[in-house]
Amino acid sequence: MDKILIIDDDEELCELVSEYLTVEGFEIECVHDGQSGLDMALTGDYDMAILDVMLPKLNGFDVLRSLRETSKLPVIMLTARGDDMERIVGLEIGADDYLPKPFNPRELAARLRAILRRTVPTEEGAEGSEKLDVDGVLLSPSSRTAVLDGEELSLTSVEFGLLHELLKEAGRIVKKEDLSENVLERKLSPYDRSLDMHISNLRKKLGTRADGSDRIKTIRSVGYIYTVV
């Protein structure tokens, strides 16, 4: 049973979401301030966190920043509906996904399952489990690790999934629609910038080559390509 930590000061919301997710097969714990949420998230006892932005003691952004210093714990951020800046900042800091309030609990459960599926290492010998060695990047689906020039990259579950898809098709364009469906497990929405932000974060972590070129190139209105030299 996957154990989920909800960090939100709205106790009524926590109760309602906990009841729904418990029926869906999740084990839920709730905490109502940012500092306590960070402390609990850092224990390593949870499979994922649901994190609100507006929190007492420590806001959600600060919680996520501190968490990402040492932890890859998947995080879904709860943002204000219509506030694009909250979503962008959350994704830049390292959130795996976001949901605007108010949300449908069924959608939350679907997002949780999609992210949790991405965090499970692929068994050796299974389809798609082969290691990839491209342009100095060694990616292992079985251990969910990516190493660049001997240094392990600290990637979120989404970033790892995107890198895997791009490396499999290195030198070829991968459509945005395909990346969204294969990695985010949802159809691409014209107003959803999640994919662009995750690619931007991944590009920063990969850095540039010695000649200053980007490893991931944007093909405007089409998709992305992991360039090979």
Provide the CATH number for the domain around residue 109.
3.40.50.2300
- Phi then psi for residue 190, to 5 deg, are -65, -20
What integer pLDDT is reported at residue 41 of this predicted model? 96
Domain end point (choices 98, 119, 140): 119
Helix (H, G, I), strand (E, B) or coil at 194: helix
What integer pLDDT is reported at residue 123 of this predicted model? 60
User: What are the residue ranges in the chain where pLDDT is below 70?
Assistant: 82, 121-129
Question: What is the secondary structure of 11-30 as a DSSP string?
Answer: HHHHHHHHHHHHHTT-EEEE
Q: Is the same domain home to 159 and 214?
A: yes
Domain end point (choices 65, 87, 119): 119
Domain end point (choices 119, 142, 159): 119
Q: Is the same domain home to 193 and 86?
A: no
Per the structure, the complete domain to which residue 94 belongs is given by 3-119
Q: Is the same domain home to 49 and 141?
A: no
Cα(140)–Cα(123) distance, integer angstroms: 11
- Packing angle between helix 11-23 and helix 105-119, nearest 10 degrees? 60
127 in a structural domain: no
Q: Is the same domain home to 103 and 18?
A: yes
Backbone CA torsion sign across 210, 215, 71, 150:
negative
Tell me the whole-structure pTM to 2 decimals: 0.84
Q: Is the same domain home to 58 and 150?
A: no
The two three-digit tokens of residue 206, written as one number: 């990969």
